[in-house]
Amino acid sequence: MSSNRIARHPHPYALAASLPKTLPDARIRYGEDSPVQFADLRIPKGHTPAGGFPVIIFIHGGGWLADWTKDYSAPFVEALTSAGFATWDVEFRRMGNCKGGYPSTFQDVARAADHARALAPSFPLDLDRVIAIGHSSGGHLALWLAGRGGLSSESPLYAADPIRLKGVISIAGVNDLDYALEHGTRADILQLLDTIREQADPLMAQTSPARLLPMDVPQTLIVGTAEDRWRRDMTHHYAQAALRAGDAVQLLEPEGLDHFDVVDPAGPAFELVVAAAKAMV
């Protein structure tokens, strides 16, 4: 652990135990196949722009595990709402939930994102200004949302008309599943895909953001300098691959921040996220 930490939270449990100050404006189901197919919608207070508020689809992390819910990142999402964004904070099936993992985890996130269209008649949302933000494994899924338009119609993850994103922000994300499996000892990726290493390649081609480049969507990658070495190296590796593919990529490395500091709503990474989000919309 870095000795020159500048964030408030010395341990991830301190962030996980925190709670948002307000209830969401609405908790809405986007599916009927699982109790966890819901998302919380928050609308900024005050003046409503003529075209509606820009929208953030937020996807939480936790290693794609049911043990981790979106509660730990809810204060961060609440702060994004206060910064002027309508937030659609997604819950979804994860490993440990019935039928969690491939393909349901991906199908749920995609279905939730596309469901934002159904909200627009009832809430002031500008669907021309939608971005996805995710933390950790949620960063992987946020980038996957941006890249899924390139999937073959034969894939179970294919959607004919996915919602158009203006940008995506991956915060300490697992941006390259192949790299994370090889260099980050992330065997949980094989559990997520319900496969073995020798048979993983076709599934990686559908699920790893690095395999879906170019995305033709602006991307911001945020990883703290106190993050695990493999994750920092992976983020650099992914950024270089995305740039070579022709995508617009910004890499930000806030000094002294670890894996949970970057989603502290009162920490120094928050303003980086807000600035990047505003530049995209």
Q: What are the boundaries of each domain within the chain?
A: 12-280
**61 and 231 Cβ atoms separated by less than 8 Å:** no
Determine the Cα–Cα distance for residues 44 and 117; give it in Å rounded to an integer: 18
Question: The tokens of 228 are what?
Answer: 């695990």
Give the N- to C-terminal CA distance of the chain in Å, as an integer: 35
- The pLDDT value recorded for residue 2 is 42
Q: Is the dihedral of CA 166, 57, 262, 150 positive or negative?
A: negative
Determine the Cα–Cα distance for residues 109 and 116; give it in Å rounded to an integer: 11
- The pLDDT value recorded for residue 21 is 82
**20 and 78 Cβ atoms separated by less than 8 Å:** yes
Q: What is the dihedral of CA 59, 62, 65, 70, to 10 degrees?
A: -50
Give this prediction's pTM: 0.94
- The pLDDT value recorded for residue 155 is 97
Going residue by residue through the chain (281 aa), what tens digit of pLDDT does each one get?
A: 344 545 555 455 655 556 788 899 999 999 999 999 999 999 999 999 999 999 999 999 999 999 999 999 999 999 999 999 999 999 999 999 999 999 999 999 999 999 999 999 999 999 999 999 999 999 999 999 999 999 999 999 999 999 999 999 999 999 999 999 999 889 999 999 999 999 999 999 999 999 999 999 999 999 999 999 999 999 999 999 999 999 999 999 999 999 999 999 999 999 999 999 999 99
Helix (H, G, I), strand (E, B) or coil at 88: strand
DSSP string, 118-158: HHTTTS-EEEEEEEEEEETHHHHHHHHHHHGGGS-TTSTT-
- The pLDDT value recorded for residue 187 is 92
Q: What would the CATH number be for the domain defined by 12-280?
A: 3.40.50.1820
